[in-house]
Amino acid sequence: MSDILDIVSVRLDDENDALILLDQSRLPNEVIYHQYKTVEQIFDAIVTLQVRGAPAIGIAAAYGCYLAVKSKTELTHEQFLSFFAKIKDYLASSRPTAVNLFWALNRMERCCVENKHKKVSEIIALLKTEADRIRQEDEAVCYAIGEHALSLLSGNMGLLTHCNAGTLATAKYGTALAPMYLGQQRGYGFRVFADETRPLLQGARLTVWELAQAGIDVTLICDNMASIVMKQGLIDAVLVGCDRVAANGDTANKIGTSGVAILAKHYGIPFYVCAPLSTIDIQTPTGKDIEIELRKAEEITSAWYQKPMAPADVKSYNPAFDVTDAQLITAIITDKGILYPPFDISIQELMKGSN
């Protein structure tokens, strides 16, 4: 296996007061790292998908909070907490669907509040520790998801994945790709089919690049080819990531995921959602309550082409996510174990046990 798992897509350069991000919008043709020193730059990096993937966004936001307040030692406690709240709200407005963003920001805020009796300089140091902990925990979480997922798979399986839920989108290993990396290390010989996941082509640009770098047998297909490879018996299981899990088990993921789930149900193929515990949002009753991010028309009409591929001024509808209904999901694989239907009950039991 190559050193693909050694790639760190989000890291803090504390000495230079900067966040270092692998620019995922430039892959696979250019592997470029950028330095971000202001909260506005980090906000823009999240919006423009230079950093993407729910866990990676959460890590970036946590470090963004720390960097924004790092030099504010002269503020009073009241001024510091007020300033931090503004930074938190600003970063929270960058993308609405992935719950990890809000989960990470809430952890950073809780760190402030619980330590408000300490010196401002001490609170700032604790914020760095908390952001580091969020990154370190994510690596362990992804590894655990990989182990649990691997228990459901066997050697030489054909696997299909949608979007990018790999090491680029997390601290390491990924969620849906974690069992593929662990399986490669252990000689499982998986054959992976990655669809291109329009309109941003994360499958073609990111997933295929990652898996190929690791020496995994990977085949690129277009989104509308999922049905034929399933019908031909090439797919034994589908594994996808997740940006939010509602309390009833409905899941939000990259646009097109629900269509893959419907196909898998039709062909009798297990459909597994790989979701860190931090993506479970018990405050969201069902998928209908999840806010779906709408993105600019250019991503459909012109962003990936030398010339526009649609008539000028044509109306467009560009949701970034869709919701997969719980009844289409075989199991939700978390870092704390595998959840089975009925998900409203199994999620509730898991969350109680994790408190």
- Integer Cα distance of 322 and 316 in angstroms: 16
The residue from 138, 195, 243, 250 that is catalytic is 243
Cα–Cα distance list, 295 to 2, 49, 325 (Å): 35, 11, 23
Provide the mean pLDDT of the chain.
95
In sequence order, the β-bridge partners of residue 238 are 160, 271
* Cβ 321 vs Cβ 284: under 8 Å: no
- Tell me the three state secondary structure of residue 193: strand
Every domain range in the chain assigned CATH 3.40.50.10470: 149-354
* Model confidence, pTM: 0.94
At 1 the pLDDT is 46
Kindly report whether the peptide bond that precedes residue 319 is cis, defined as omega within 30 degrees of 0: no
* Cβ 147 vs Cβ 28: under 8 Å: no
Q: Which percentage of the chain shows pLDDT scores above 70?
A: 99
- Integer Cα distance of 63 and 333 in angstroms: 27
DSSP string of 213-277? HTT-EEEEE-GGGHHHHHHTT--SEEEE--SEEETTS-EEEETTHHHHHHHHHHHT--EEEE--G
- Integer Cα distance of 178 and 164 in angstroms: 11
Q: What is the mean pLDDT of residues 54-67?
A: 96
Tell me the residue type at 246. Answer: A
149-354: CATH number: 3.40.50.10470
Every domain range in the chain assigned CATH 1.20.120.420: 3-142
Tell me the residue type at 275. Answer: A
The structure tokens 């980090």 sit at 42
Tell me the residue type at 250. Answer: D
At 311 the pLDDT is 92
At 261 the pLDDT is 98
**Model confidence pLDDT, tens digit, residues 182-222:** 999 999 999 999 999 999 999 999 999 999 999 999 999 99
As its CATH architecture, domain 3-142 has Up-down Bundle (1.20)
* Cβ 88 vs Cβ 108: under 8 Å: yes
Indicate whether 312 pLDDT > 90: no
What is the sign, positive or negative, of the torsion defined by CA atoms of 78, 82, 84, 88?
positive
Q: Any idea which of 92-101, 245-254, 289-298 has the lowest mean pLDDT?
A: 92-101
Rounded to 10 degrees, the C-alpha dihedral 198/200/204/209 comes to -160
Separation of CA 351 from chain center: 20
Indicate whether 306 pLDDT > 90: no
* Cβ 142 vs Cβ 178: under 8 Å: yes
Residues 6+ apart with CB under 8 A from 256: 162, 163, 195, 197, 198, 223, 322
**Model confidence pLDDT, tens digit, residues 319-338:** 999 999 999 999 999 999 99
- In the numeric block, which tokens belong to residue 345? 């009950």
In sequence order, the β-bridge partners of residue 36 are 19
Annotated catalytic, 223? no
